[in-house]
Amino acid sequence: MFCEKAIELIRELQRAADGQLPAFNEDGIRQVLEEMKALYEQNQTDVNEAKSDGRTDLIPTIKFRHCCLLRNKRCVLAYLYDRLLRIRSLRWEYGSVLPSGIRFHFAAEEVRCLKDYGEYEIDDGTTVLLKKNSQHFMPRWKCEQLIRQGVLEHVLS
């Protein structure tokens, strides 16, 4: 308890080499969320008791649990954001069809989002035309592979 599982999620990502996507730790996420629910319920009970009975001795414990809740939240968000960045990088590297060995490590929601993934990093630079007739500006080096795959078309202005 007290953020151990959340920190383990972060360590798991740190142990993975750059460019590698470890398997989605659904069990770890579930355990962190269960811990957060338990901490929240304990805090609610103590807050109600502190208010009704004037027990100011509970305030440090309430604050500690609240800090644990915030830390768990930050760790889960960092875990998910890091996976997002890794998936985005893999998407740029391999294109729309990822090798099955890589897809094996995705959660079901990540696979679904990958199918819908149409966002490309937008910077000032080369104009590209998505096949859906919308224009975005990005450096050519970021989109050369997508141009070769036929996903993007280079537009000379």
The domain locations on the chain are: 4-116, 118-157
Q: Which residue has the higher pLDDT, 95 or 27?
A: 27
The rounded distance, in Å, linking the Cα atoms of 98 and 114 is: 10
Check: pTM over 0.75? Answer yes or no.
Answer: no
Domain covering 4-116 in this structure, CATH number:
1.20.58.1030
Q: What is the pLDDT of residue 74?
A: 96
The residue-averaged pLDDT of 68-84 equals: 94
Q: Considering the chain, what percentage of its residues have pLDDT values greater than 70? A: 73
The rounded distance, in Å, linking the Cα atoms of 70 and 73 is: 5
N- to C-terminal Cα separation, the chain: 58
The rounded distance, in Å, linking the Cα atoms of 75 and 9 is: 8
Q: What is the pLDDT of residue 121?
A: 38
Listed in sequence order, the residues at least 6 apart from 58 whose beta carbon sits closer than 8 Å to its beta carbon are 46, 47, 49, 50
- In this prediction, residue 99 has a pLDDT band, given cuts at 50, 70 and 90, of confident
Q: What is the pLDDT of residue 102?
A: 79
pLDDT score of 126 more than 80: no
Dihedral sign, Cα of residue 22, residue 116, residue 119, residue 27: negative
Q: Which residue has the higher pLDDT, 144 or 26?
A: 26
Q: Considering the chain, what percentage of its residues have pLDDT values greater than 90? A: 45
- In this prediction, residue 125 has a pLDDT band, given cuts at 50, 70 and 90, of very low
